[in-house]
Amino acid sequence: MSLTSFLPAPTQLSQDQLEAEERLRAQKSYSTALVSSRREPPPYGHRKGWVPRSLEDFGDGGAFPEIHVAQFPLEMGRKKKTSNALAVQVDAEGKIKYDAIARQGQNKDKVVFSKYTDLLPKEVLNQDTPELQKPDEEAVKRADGEDPGRPGQAGVSKDRCCHACKSCRQTSSCAVHQIHPVPAGGGF
């Protein structure tokens, strides 16, 4: 007496039995198939009216020179279809970031203001930061000393200006020339 004699027959097949049945079914369908699954072009001389449209029509070869239509075997020469669609980006709160549309085609480092709140001045959180403090007297004097347009050198730059034009070289005094538009002129 064995245990299998007391147990009922199994209702489901094991994995090995399922694979064996699948193999038998595949062999049976392969031998009884009337049409092959591989499409081939008609034989040479019988291609009148036949135009290759899909990749299967070309098989693993090239184009058919006797058929005078645009042919793209293995998708060679066909223009790629590109899309300029943007992926949806969301912020930390789950709201859609619409500034990606404004940034499209721009430099990635360029600052783009896409919301009204970007244009509002930011609140100063700490007024004791060194950038917000008034400069001391020494810093002001240092900045004045580095300035090329300080009052002590105004005459030197004026002389340089006068020597740049031919009319000022003859006279020692500089004159200011004002240009006014003429209403009868073409650019007015």
Q: Where are the domains of the chain?
A: 87-119
Residue 100 has φ and ψ, to the nearest 5°, of -65, -30
160-182 tens-digit pLDDT: 555 555 555 555 566 777 777 77
70-111 tens-digit pLDDT: 888 877 777 877 777 888 888 899 888 888 888 888 788 888
Residues in contact with 187: Cβ distance below 8 Å, sequence separation at least 6, in sequence order: 181
Contact between 52 and 59 (Cβ < 8 Å): no
pTM: 0.26
DSSP tag of 165: S
Is the pLDDT confidence value at 26 over 70? yes
Contact between 40 and 59 (Cβ < 8 Å): yes
| Phi/psi-derived region of residue 75, left when phi > 0, alpha when psi is between -120 and 50, beta in every other case | left
Contact between 30 and 22 (Cβ < 8 Å): no
